[in-house]
Chains A and B, each alone.
Chain A
Amino acid sequence: MMSEGSSFMKGLILGGIFCLVMSYFETFNPGVHSESHQHLHHHLKPLSKDELQKLSESQMSELTQQVRVYCLIMVTPKLLVHWVTVNDTWSKHCDKSVFYTSESSKAVEGFDLQEQDEWARLRKAIKHAYENAGDLRWFFVARPTTFAIIENLKYLVLDKDSSQPFYIGHTEKSGELDYVEYDSGIVLSYEAVRRLIEMFKDEDKCPERGRALWKMPEEKQLATCLKYSGVFAENGEDAQGKGLFNKKSTSSLISDSMGQNPADVVEACCSDMAITFGGMSPSQMQVLMFGVYRLRPYGHDFHDSLTFLPPKDSDND
């Protein structure tokens, strides 16, 4: 009797583990679809200086006017100080910025999605942004612990056609899935968002509330849904191959570089055209705002091919 019971138990346990493992793997492998193709462009760089020079003044002007960014900053009342700081700093450089919150706060303005689930919230925010984009064709999604230099983002996507699907940031790999890390910011073109919103309708491939036992972080859910719609993650880097999107703070990156490249700390660390830094405290953001938009050595002049004007009604840039 005992041996039969224990066999049964073993079988039950093994079967249960098998099911769990299978559902775990399924969340990372959205299955083979007949239209899957080898994506060739995993590294995305800005226009080279040579190419920029070939453009005429009017082409330059046209491109500058076309690259307009809608910033979605995903906040919660717990991150109130970061929220207020982002509102006072880099978000002023977006053509439009909206703070999408899980619940409203009396202290500061935001768009209340009234949603506690992070993935559901992100979906709602993206839908709202798409519907209210006007003539803005690029979307940038960030947490308020991230600092972004929007001018450098515009420089990166200047020559990219927003009616093509683009999904850009710092890419990581999880099994078969390439995804863009949330903490270093996510860039999506208009077409990528259009396809994504279509895919939202598919409750099997892109469910609003995940059915797996392990809750997948939103960044991977996003990547999965995008992958199903034929949109693949690309790593944003400069001409030298340095990553432009960073999930670490400036001081953290500098500190790492001091350990790895003591003779050449700054050169080896980070790009001059960096776009994001994550894990920034509010006061670090205020200092970075000053460091990026104001602090400079007299007599170093740059003759850039593009011009971006300072935002109106702002005194810290």
Chain B
Amino acid sequence: MHARNTVWHTAESRRAALDLSQKVRVLCWVMTQPPHLESRTQHVRDTWGKRCNIILYMSSKESDFPTVGLNVSEGRSQLYWKTIRAFQHIHKHHLDDADWFLKADDDTFVVLENLRYGLSKHNTEEPLYFGRRFTPFVKQGYMSGGAGYVLSKEALRRFVKGFADGLCTHNTELEDTGLGQCMETMRVRTGDSRDVLRRQTFHPYPPYYYLPRQLPRPRPWYLLYEHYDPVEGPGCCSDLAISFHYIDAVGMHTLEYYTYHLRPYGYKYRFNPDNK
């Protein structure tokens, strides 16, 4: 009779995920506003927010949520100002507290473990940023704001320096295009965030936009900006997806349930990233 390790058989082992969280530290900042705290941001906090090494909720007003108060007003026209101020705040107060810096919306769902896994192969001292790559407006492309994007430490330094030196300015209201332009100006490269099977990890829309099978067709409107050739149906999305956007409160908890709780007992997953 060989000895049985009870922990081996019963417990869920999170060792690999824990190790990664120490090696690949992520500071998350969530773009939010006072009227959203109860309807949206609370659900971010209750689900994925706590998985960031550091989480900052950026708003126009400071509060006990807690939110960081940026020196801006609210509204769509202020989004790029908020982004600039948020990164300046992070650069000033938290540059050494993390390795990578993620921006997300208050209706973005993020799987931190998969973000860390994707980033683990990259060097944060290199000028790089990752997200869902869109094509127009910026030559090298830019990252969709809603799907979330993540800057290396060097990319953050260059973004802030760009504004300090006047090389980057507030030349648009669109935060993702604006940031993308500054990144290009400051020679920060757009990374490829797709998995080893070339499936997307960051998603600007909810899962039901991408997963249902479609007959071959011209790009629907929500795939028009795609830099890489879009795939519809099961090949749209990596098993180790990192984000989905336009997720409401019910959707947040549902994705939380699907990702971290509901599972098929004993099932051997088809996709094993480390074996490919």
Question: Do these two chains really belong together in a complex?
Answer: yes
Chain A positions near chain B (C-beta within 8 angstroms): 49, 52-53, 64, 88, 93, 149-152, 154-155, 250-251, 254-255, 257-258, 265-266, 269-270, 272-274, 282-284, 286-310, 315-317
User: Which residues of A are found within 8 Å of B15, using beta-carbon distances?
Assistant: 299, 301
User: Which residues of B are found within 8 Å of A309, using beta-carbon distances?
Assistant: 268
Whether the Cβ atoms of B239 and A296 lie closer than 8 Å is: yes
Interface-located stretch among B75-83, B125-133, B174-182, B206-214? B206-214
B237 at the interface (CB under 8 A from A): yes
Question: Would you give the shortest CB distance from A191 to chain B, in whole angstroms?
Answer: 24
- B15, B117, B259, B266, most chain A CB atoms within 10 A: B266
User: Which residues of B are found within 8 Å of A254, using beta-carbon distances?
Assistant: 250, 253-254, 257
B221 at the interface (CB under 8 A from A): no
- A296, A302, A303, A317, most chain B CB atoms within 10 A: A296
User: In the bound complex, what is the Cα–Cα distance between A303 and B6 (angstroms)?
Assistant: 10
Whether the Cβ atoms of B262 and A299 lie closer than 8 Å is: no
Which interface class (under 10, 10 to 19, 20 to 34, 35 or more) fits B?
35 or more
Out of B17, B114, B266, name the residue touching A155 (CB < 8 Å).
Answer: B266
Whether the Cβ atoms of A298 and B235 lie closer than 8 Å is: no
Whether the Cβ atoms of A298 and B265 lie closer than 8 Å is: no
Interface SS of chain A: helix
User: Which residues of A are found within 8 Å of B259, using beta-carbon distances?
Assistant: 291, 295-297
User: Which residues of A are found within 8 Å of B186, using beta-carbon distances?
Assistant: none
Interface SS of chain B: helix
User: Which residues of A are found within 8 Å of B6, using beta-carbon distances?
Assistant: 53
User: Which residues of A are found within 8 Å of B11, using beta-carbon distances?
Assistant: 303
User: Which residues of B are found within 8 Å of A283, using beta-carbon distances?
Assistant: 208, 211-212
79-109 of chain B: CB within 8 A of chain A: none
Whether the Cβ atoms of A270 and B265 lie closer than 8 Å is: no
User: Which residues of B are found within 8 Å of A288, using beta-carbon distances?
Assistant: 258
| A272 touching B208 in the complex, CB below 8 Å, given contacts A294-B239, A300-B12 | no
Question: Would you give the shortest CB distance from A258 to chain B, in whole angstroms?
Answer: 7
Question: Would you give the shortest CB distance from B269 to chain A, in whole angstroms?
Answer: 7
B256 at the interface (CB under 8 A from A): yes
